[in-house]
Structure 1
Amino acid sequence: MKITDFAILFVIITLPFNILLGIKTANLNNGLYKSLEMNRIIDTAVEDGVSQLVTVGGDKEITLNKERAMEAFFNSLFLNMDVVGDEIAQKKILGYIPAMVIVDYDGIYLLTNQEYTAADGYKEIKPIWKPKVPYSYSDGSYIYSFSLDDYIEIYDIANNRILKGLQGDLKAEIPSDIIQQDELFENVRRRTIIEAIKREVNHSINNHNLIAHQFGITYSFTLPVIDDEDWHKTLDDVGMLVFFQGLPIGIGGQRYNNYALGGARVVKGQHYYQQVNPNGITYYHKEGCPFLLTKEELVDSRREAARGGAFPCRECWP
């Protein structure tokens, strides 16, 4: 057999594999493109929802309008997915959203899908807001209700009393390590908030699996892996967290599975002021600290100050 014959045979054998590989690569690229496009759509919808979430009254009191935020989110989502006016397509999209979370100052609201029977007798999915879930933790002696900053409400079980205030101001009243130790307080506060969100979202997703299967969605919904940095972002601001999963985005069973987080950039709690001392070291202070000479550099949290290299003042202990 001539060398040319071998070459022809080689081409005949490998050509189908190359064609299949090319098709598979094209499908993967197409799926990647659709995934990136869905990321943009979901992020935009969350931003639009968050923009309508917070209302500031004349007395500067901040209130949340969950219904308006939800309406803005879905209007943006349906517009960018080109299903405006198509109720069937819109209801199908609801089946791919197992949970939406509104992160409030002292608790979370969860929008979860519930099955109901419409007037025509057909079953449909309807998003329902559940009652607020507080950021609560108990050590057996006290029940702590945390917030997105240092403000806390504590129920003293033994003495049947409730105390409210900033953690630092309650040290004289509550002898527990959680209140006395600043680092422990911060760790327990953050863990409590994150665990509250995880617990409620997991419950919602498990319930959604039962509903979605009845509507022909065979995808198994689960809480996606969220890195620590994104979890901590949920603690910085009032905001919205949306999970969107299971949407087919390509040939070969590719499915979209992601989440989007948006903050309203509202910090209700303590502000801190950074100041450089004569030795060139930056400290952050509470309002009214006797060592605070200027109020030019404002930060919204102790975490933000620490990230910038600032140390807590040894006089006011922020």
Structure 2
Amino acid sequence: MTVTVRAPAKINLHLGVGAVREDGFHPLDTVYQAVSLYDDVSVSDSAVWSVEVEPVGDVDVAGVPLDESNIAIRAGRLLAEHHGVARRARISIAKGIPVAGGMAGGSADAAATLVALDRLWDLQTSDDDLLGLAAELGSDVPFALIGGTARGTGRGELVDPVEDVGTWWWVVVPDADGLATLSVYRAFDELAGSDVGPTPAAPDLLLAALAVADQDAFAAALRNDLAAPALMLRPDLRATATDVVAAGARTALLSGSGPTFLGLAADQEQALRVRGTLIDDGHRALVATGPVAGAHVVRYA
């Protein structure tokens, strides 16, 4: 039998970052939103662990590891160890989320693998245990399970859904050259120095805008504390942000640690127009909407 689970990309509508903690992590206060770019993860029983990756459209998967360092295999091993079962799986990933783009494609794969193998092996893992395993794998993995719109605290792994009555449209502009998350955080520390405190900025204005779908207040409240360090490492990305706004987006927002930029559109029609203009200007551009559901089964075969 094969089980296929679909998991969404994430964006950070607000990403407040505090000073690095003693454990090496930065405290975060972030608002995640799941958007309609997906990876589909299919699992089936096998004598050995393996992973294969196929692109959806023009996604570049060259940088995705195909050995046991792949986070999907690590997720499968962790789930098997948690239940004390000696089982292995073949994992096939159809990747529609840009790689190394700040949209948590690897985290989506890990979350999808946890759900898919739980169903394949009928493990009946509790929601709390799944979230606990997800947090061991990475800060963004718990949100990939939950989806929707949610606030993340701690290092991002403590996730609570928030009220979001809007439907938000985004133009997603990936970049061919990835940005290493660790390098961006190091640049953040270099830029911020002693000026940054231990408590990250809270998203109060953004949460209020989400609760009433106020587009003006929403656009004004978008924030990413990693934008400045990312642009310090990749100053060429400033041109992308300029192009996104010039094409008609309400604002340009860096996705997570980058390098993907997001253009906020008023509706689907405007998003499609902005996408067309950016493509004419030589950019790769996609349209996505949010919030959407987290990891969920789409096929048993």
Q: Does the alignment reach a TM-score above 0.5?
A: no
Which has more radius of gyration? 1
Output the TM-score relative to the length of structure 1: 0.22
Output the TM-score relative to the length of structure 2: 0.22
